[in-house]
């Protein structure tokens, strides 16, 4: 039987532990090494994260890069380079387009590995640097919860939209944020993660979620792969123009997703193991 993703990640973390030279290990968006080096890795698998009929090779490469660059953004890190390990099914002839997609955000592709695989498998690693890496765990009761951009755009697009990793916004938020992560599985899944890591509860006002054109509240709260940033800011912080306040962290444990009438909605995000 498979465990849910958070339990599996917890298990990985138990094996890995923390070691000298590693400031932050498994369980945050990226690992932080001594000297402010930040490293993230992510695997996209055909049939799980994408279908080849719906995304071309360049778009698949871009998605894999974006997932990792977004993890760096969520730490407030500046990217240095990417590495790509590609598993290629028989007859796949678009390595060049796929690689060009990985490099399409202007972050250089510094290394790679190629293998045969039953389905197209793209594992990208991003290396970056942060002066002041922002973890998930620094949030305090009373902090404002903000998000960048609009939510639900990916699910509305049928998961075909080009992602914009919020690197500039992440670097700006790193100046003030107490906690940050990127919304890969929907706010209904990711707010509980930030709150749990910070040892707080949280309230989200669903009507305040900035919704992409055509997105319902459910799309905005539960849609995966938006890769917008979710951050906790001290209550007296200036909220940047690119951010929307969607709730706050609380003393009271538990996460409440409140609709316009103040009723909790039992919404869930995207878990690749469900």
Residues within the interface to its own copies (CB under 8 A)? 1-3, 5, 8-9, 11-12, 14-19, 21-22, 25-26, 30-31, 33, 37, 39-45, 47-49, 80-81, 83-88, 90-93, 95-96, 99-100, 103, 108-119, 121, 123, 125, 127, 272-273
Whose Cβ is closer to its own copies: residue 81's or residue 176's? 81
Whose Cβ is closer to its own copies: residue 127's or residue 237's? 127
At which residue do the structure tokens 């997932």 appear?
67
**Distance of closest approach, residue 261 Cβ to its own copies, in angstroms:** 37
For residues 188 and 267, is the Cβ–Cβ distance under 8 A? yes
Alpha carbons within 13 angstroms on the beta-carbon side of residue 103 total: 11
Whose Cβ is closer to its own copies: residue 252's or residue 271's? 271
Whose Cβ is closer to its own copies: residue 45's or residue 258's? 45
**Distance from C-alpha of 149 to C-alpha of 264, rounded to nearest angstrom:** 24
**Distance of closest approach, residue 105 Cβ to its own copies, in angstroms:** 13
**Distance of closest approach, residue 111 Cβ to its own copies, in angstroms:** 4
Whose Cβ is closer to its own copies: residue 80's or residue 245's? 80
What are the C-alpha distances in Å from 38 to residues 34, 98, 111, 187, 207?
9, 24, 17, 24, 35
- Burial classification of residue 26, based on how many CB atoms lie within 10 Å of its CB (0-12 exposed, 13-18 middle, 19 or more buried): middle
**Distance of closest approach, residue 160 Cβ to its own copies, in angstroms:** 19
**Distance of closest approach, residue 48 Cβ to its own copies, in angstroms:** 5
Whose Cβ is closer to its own copies: residue 107's or residue 145's? 107
- Burial classification of residue 93, based on how many CB atoms lie within 10 Å of its CB (0-12 exposed, 13-18 middle, 19 or more buried): exposed
Whose Cβ is closer to its own copies: residue 60's or residue 123's? 123
Q: Answer left, alpha or beta for residue 137, where phi above 0 means left and psi between -120 and 50 means alpha.
A: alpha
- The two structure tokens encoding residue 217: 């509240």
DSSP state of 50: B
For residues 60 and 19, is the Cβ–Cβ distance under 8 A? no
**Distance of closest approach, residue 32 Cβ to its own copies, in angstroms:** 8
What are the C-alpha distances in Å from 26 to residues 20, 41, 97, 99?
14, 11, 31, 27
Whose Cβ is closer to its own copies: residue 83's or residue 167's? 83
**Distance of closest approach, residue 196 Cβ to its own copies, in angstroms:** 18
**Distance from C-alpha of 204 to C-alpha of 259, rounded to nearest angstrom:** 9
3-class secondary structure, 203: strand
- Paired with 258 in beta bridges are 205, 264
**Distance of closest approach, residue 115 Cβ to its own copies, in angstroms:** 5
């Amino acid at each position: 039987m498979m465990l849910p993703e958070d339990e599996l990640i917890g298990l990985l973390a138990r094996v890995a532990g923390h070691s000298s030279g590693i400031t932050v290990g498994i369980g945050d968006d990226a690992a932080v090494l001594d000297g402010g080096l930040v490293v993230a890795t992510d695997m996209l698998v055909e049939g799980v994260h994408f279908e080849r009929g719906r995304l071309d090779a360049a778009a698949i490469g871009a998605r894999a890069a974006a997932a990792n660059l977004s993890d760096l953004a969520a730490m407030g890190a500046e990217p240095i380079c990417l590495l790509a390990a590609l598993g290629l099914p028989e007859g796949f002839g678009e390595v060049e387009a796929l690689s060009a997609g990985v490099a399409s955000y202007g972050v250089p592709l510094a290394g790679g590995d190629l293998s045969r695989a039953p389905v197209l498998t793209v594992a990208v690693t991003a290396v970056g640097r942060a002066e002041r890496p922002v973890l998930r765990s620094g949030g305090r009761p009373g902090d404002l919860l903000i998000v960048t951009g609009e939510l639900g755009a990916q699910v509305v697009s049928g998961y075909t939209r080009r992602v914009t990793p919020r690197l500039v916004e992440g670097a700006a938020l790193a100046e003030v944020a107490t906690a940050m992560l990127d919304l890969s599985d929907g706010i209904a899944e990711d707010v509980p993660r930030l709150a749990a890591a910070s040892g707080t509860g949280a309230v989200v006002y669903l009507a305040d979620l900035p919704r992409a054109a055509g997105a319902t509240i459910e799309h905005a709260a539960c849609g995966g792969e938006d890769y917008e940033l979710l951050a906790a800011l001290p209550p007296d912080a200036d909220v940047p123009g690119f951010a929307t306040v969607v709730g706050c962290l609380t003393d009271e444990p538990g996460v409440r997703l409140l609709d316009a009438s103040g009723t909790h909605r039992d919404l869930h995000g995207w878990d690749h193991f469900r």
